Chains A and B, each alone.
Chain A
Amino acid sequence: MHELAVTQSMLDLVLEEANKTGSGKVQKINLVFGELSGVVGDCVQFYFEFLSKGTPAEGASISFRKIPTQARCRECGEVFTPEEFDWSCPKCHRVGVEITAGKELYVESIEVE
């Protein structure tokens, strides 16, 4: 639902980075987002086409790399992907995890002319 704000921030960041290198058109944006961030790739794509019109990023393709949620058990150290309705450790069955992946939301790189 917050993709409009996310896409605008992403575009600002991409244009700033492209401008720093003095390059022209942005051809590709490599985006990394975690499952927990709640960002929907299709929505970002939709807003991007609209927001990037008339900027050096117009027409750029976006590659989305989605990171699944990953947790580490605080008791036994087991690393696992939590089940939909169960965050307890599959090995020692205790509850109490540290989230080690899934919250990402960053631009990994851009490809410019």
Chain B
Amino acid sequence: MEIKVLKDILSANDQIAQRNRALLEKKNVFTINVMSSPGAGKTSLILETIRKLKNKVSMGVIEGDISSTIDAEKVKREKVPVLQINTGGECHLEAVMVNRALDNLPLDDIGLLFIENVGNLVCPGEFKLGEDRKVLILSVPEGDDKIYKYPLLFHLADAVVINKIDLLPYTKFDLEGFSLALKGINQKARLFQVSCTTHEGIEDWTDWILSSMQLQKRRGRKKP
């Protein structure tokens, strides 16, 4: 006997992600899921953002790594609440892991929460966490062809940050070509060019975060 199911395999994860989202909305926490391959600069961009915005907004960080607390220690030095998730082998964060982490963060004191996903350009795309925005970082040394090799994450991102632009003169990275390719598969994504080493472009990026937070607040107020 054949039984029609027609259900998304990851619906259980999506439901928990919705629960996370509801909790974060209630606590007025704006949440950004930061994704990239290993070494593209997720932690560096988060640290740069903390330094730039610490007088304007209270922040918190969830660090996702397969093992170690190296990134969490770096964030702790900036005196920001941080929680390390060690996935123990899993190549991405799942909503249930974030759910447990949220229980252990002072959400009443956080206005902007970064969730640093496990370094990977494939798997994190499938798993919603309850975030307001998905941000993808691509660093110049990785090459401009990654958008064709891993289209899903580029398609889903609300913003794409090109990091390490100080290295542009030493590579064949084609910014114009990349920008056109991104427009091709994702019309909504904002594109930022930054260097966490020279601090170039960081302000454009932090301005976008602040305006996205404002937008979200206005939308929130309109709700019945």
- List residues of A whose CB falls within 8 A of some B CB: 1-2, 4-6, 9-10, 12-14, 17-18, 21, 23, 31, 36-38, 69, 71, 74, 84-85, 87-88, 95-97, 99, 103, 105-113
Contacts and interface: CB of A to CB of B under 8 A. Distances in A.
Interface of B is mostly: mixed
A27 to B, nearest CB: 9
Interface string B176-191: 0000110111010000
Interface stretch (B7-15, B39-47, B98-106, B158-166): B7-15
B10 A85 contact: no
B208 interface: no
Interface string B1-30: 111111111111100000000000000000
A70 to B, nearest CB: 13
A17 B183 CA distance: 41
A26 to B, nearest CB: 10
A12 B3 CA distance: 16
Q: In the complex, which range does the number of interface residues on chain B fall in? A: 20 to 34
Given A9-B9, A13-B9, 8 more contacts: A5-B94, A31-B9, A38-B152, A87-B148, A87-B151, A87-B184, A95-B180, A112-B3
Nearest to A69: B151
A5 B90 contact: yes
Interface of B: 1-13, 90-92, 94, 120, 122-123, 125-127, 145, 148, 151-152, 155, 180-181, 183-185, 187
Contacts of B127: 2, 5
A17 B5 contact: yes
Contact of A36 (B6, B11, B152): B152
A1 B122 CA distance: 8
Contact of A107 (B7, B92, B155, B185): B7
Contacts of A5: 90, 92, 94, 127
B184 A96 contact: yes
Contact of B7 (A13, A38, A84, A113): A13
Interface of A is mostly: mixed
Given A1-B120, A13-B12, A109 B2 contact: yes
A2 B115 CA distance: 19
